[in-house]
Structure 1
Amino acid sequence: MPGQRAVARFRSAGPAAPGPADGRTTATVEAWKSVNGRQPGDPAKLAHALLTIAGQDEPPRRFLAGADAIEGATAKARELLAQAEAFRALGGSLGHDDTGA
């Protein structure tokens, strides 16, 4: 799972854990439990990074925590840019024609 950090997602008796609505929730909970404690990244470093951001005068609107999250976002940005460039002429030609009126 991209952007996973080594933090406990669920406690066995935690009241905030969601109940199974249609089976997907149960599958998601089990998937998270299966990687709990084995996520890449150091939780202390994440905490330090978040505190650093919180103390900034102008914190970023988005913060990607971890090399895996950065790579995923970068790949998505490249994909979106390629799509925009592929149809730049068509998409950019939709403005009103100047009619002189």
Structure 2
Amino acid sequence: MTHSPFHEVPMFQARCTSCGYIETDYDEFGGFSEPEGAVEFVTEVRAWHRSDDWPPSELLCVACQKCAVCGADPCYPHDDGQHVVCEQHEDHDFDKPARPQLRSVPS
């Protein structure tokens, strides 16, 4: 009886939903047997941001984390768990509709 010299091992790695970067460095591992492990690793060890839903609708590597209000960086997770914000916008209310900008009318 002979065996193939290869053995396929399915594993999960985290992918940034913005730029598509795939994290391949999981310290001693090349990936995880469950997708939750890969997401937990990149959020806790690599400081990625993820939305609170599952599967995450947003999973952002550090390079793609820009303030959801003004686009600045560095950012960190907003209290709502769905956005990243800069220090200036940490109290931003994402549930409140934006006020329409008033335009001046030439006289």
**TM exceeding 0.5:** no
TM-score, normalised to structure 2, is: 0.22
**Larger proportion of strand:** 2
Higher CA-based Rg? 1
**Larger proportion of helix:** 1
TM-score, normalised to structure 1, is: 0.22
